[in-house]
Amino acid sequence: MTRMDAVALFRPYNRDDAPEPAPQEKQVIHQTPGKNRPTPTRKQAEAARMAAVHPKLSRREMRAADQEVERKRQADRVAAIENAPARVLMRNYVDSRWSVLELMMGVLGFLVIVMLAGNYFPQVVMVVVVAVLYGFLVVGLINFFFSWRGFKQELATRYPNTSSKGLAFAMLSRMMAFRRMRQPKCVIKRGEEY
């Protein structure tokens, strides 16, 4: 056999003469699929990136998103104010004591009902109701005055050089609220140390 016969350049290759290949394990070739789309231009890529950062929203969606951001900002602002050490001390000071002003809403509600039904009562009853109302207000203000004085001394002892600005009204409104309705919620019981 000549060299040309072995290679069979110009004639069909005879498969019968070829040695049989040894059986090999099948190799699985994973082909990555093509992207099946053209590469986006720089302008298109920038537009897609900006659309993700600044989505186009309807007016209603923009208003809802703005309101949510403002609500979160307001909640953070209120939390920062309420977590100030002087505010926490004021809340604990009020919550650890009984107050005449806690009964204020109940007494006022009762007196308003009696005054609205004033036509059914004699004039003397109405005078007594008004006297009770004014007496309750005087006792409540005296209670607030002594509580405020005690709180200012406590504040000066625990946090010297801390301003009590804005705490008087917060203390008065907390003292007037029913214990269960106070916000933030009470964390200590009456008579507990704070």
- Measured CA distances, 27 to 30, 158, 181 (Å): 10, 79, 74
Could you state, in order of their start, the residue ranges of all structural domains in the chain? 44-83, 85-181
Q: Indicate whether 159 pLDDT > 90.
A: yes
Tens digits of residue pLDDT in 39-51: 999 999 998 898 8
In whole angstroms, give the CA distance from residue 142 to residue 37: 81
Return the pLDDT at 119: 77
Tens digits of residue pLDDT in 93-127: 999 999 999 998 888 888 888 888 877 878 888 88
Higher pLDDT, 106 or 11: 106
**Helix/strand/coil (H/E/C) assignment for every residue in the chain:** CCHHHHHCCCCCCCCCCCCCCCCCCCCCCCCCCCCCCCCCCHHHHHHHHHHHHCCCCCHHHHHHHHHHHHHHHHHHHHHHHHCCHHHHHHHHHHHCCCCHHHHHHHHHHHHHHHHHCHHHCCHHHHHHHHHHHHHHHHHHHHHHHHHHHHHHHHHHHHCCCCCCCCHHHHHHHHHHCCHHHCCCCCCCCCCCCC
Return the pLDDT at 42: 95
Return the pLDDT at 76: 94
User: The whole model's pTM is what?
Assistant: 0.61
Residue type, 113: I
Please classify residue 3 by burial: count the beta carbons closer than 10 Å to its beta carbon, then call 0-12 exposed, 13-18 middle and 19+ buried. exposed
The stretch 20-28 carries a mean pLDDT of 65
* 16 — pLDDT class (breaks 50, 70, 90): low
Tens digits of residue pLDDT in 31-77: 667 778 889 999 999 988 988 888 888 889 889 989 999 999 999 99
Return the pLDDT at 28: 63
